[in-house]
């Protein structure tokens, strides 16, 4: 496993080798020992699987009290994955990046203390992510998707009521 640093502190694009032949392909998508060499000693406690249709925007989600680190990968279709640094002490606080993810060797490490969301670019997409803490509904928050000048590439997103009513960045809970 290899890592490519992003513009945001502590965030990485993780890549793996893909072996292809006349039978198809094989990749080791996760290896805890290799991941921990890159991101540090995190324990992954939950896997999540999302299936969405074109123009769905999920996010920008985060948890207070129990911030989750995530390794995000798209296993079918294509997504535009966005992360926002909500750590006040970080030199990249308040900044965001977007990365296109599709099946293959590229995954995104989202450190604890970041908001995360994505838009589906293809007709349908499946996204898997490993998280470093459990989901606590009472601590879930949603940053308003339209607040930071992110070009999501659609004027008519399909979104949950919760995400449509997200909190402005200036008013959202942040991490110390």
Residue of 151, 158, 163, 162 whose CA lies nearest to 125: 158
Tell me if 39 sits within 8 A of 139, measured CB to CB: no
- 61 as an active site residue: the answer is yes
Residue of 12, 42, 80, 129 marked catalytic: 129
Tell me if 81 sits within 8 A of 61, measured CB to CB: no
Residue of 12, 61, 80, 116 marked catalytic: 61
CA 40 to CA 56: how far, in whole Å?
32
- 129 as an active site residue: the answer is yes
Tell me if 174 sits within 8 A of 153, measured CB to CB: no
Residue of 128, 5, 3, 131 whose CA lies nearest to 62: 131
**Omega of the bond leading into 33 within 30 degrees of 0 (cis):** no
Residue of 17, 34, 135, 127 whose CA lies nearest to 82: 127
Residue of 140, 127, 22, 145 whose CA lies nearest to 75: 127
> Among all residues, which ones are annotated catalytic?
61, 129
């Amino acid at each position: 496993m290899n890592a490519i640093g992003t513009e945001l502190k502590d965030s990485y694009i993780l890549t793996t080798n893909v072996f292809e032949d006349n039978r198809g392909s094989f990749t080791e998508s996760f290896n805890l020992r290799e991941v921990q060499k890159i991101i540090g000693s995190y324990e992954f406690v939950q896997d999540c699987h999302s299936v969405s249709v074109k123009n769905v925007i999920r996010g920008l989600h985060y948890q207070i009290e129990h911030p989750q680190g995530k390794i995000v990968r798209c296993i079918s279709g294509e997504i535009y994955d966005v992360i926002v640094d909500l750590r006040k002490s970080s030199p990249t606080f308040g900044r965001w990046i977007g990365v296109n993810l599709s099946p293959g060797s590229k995954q995104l490490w989202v450190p604890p203390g970041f908001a995360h969301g994505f838009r589906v670019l293809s007709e349908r997409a499946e996204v898997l992510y490993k998280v470093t803490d459990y989901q606590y509904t009472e601590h879930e928050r949603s940053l308003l998707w339209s607040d930071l000048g992110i070009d999501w590439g659609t004027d008519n997103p399909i979104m949950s009521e919760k995400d449509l009513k997200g909190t402005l960045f200036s008013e959202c809970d942040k991490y110390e």
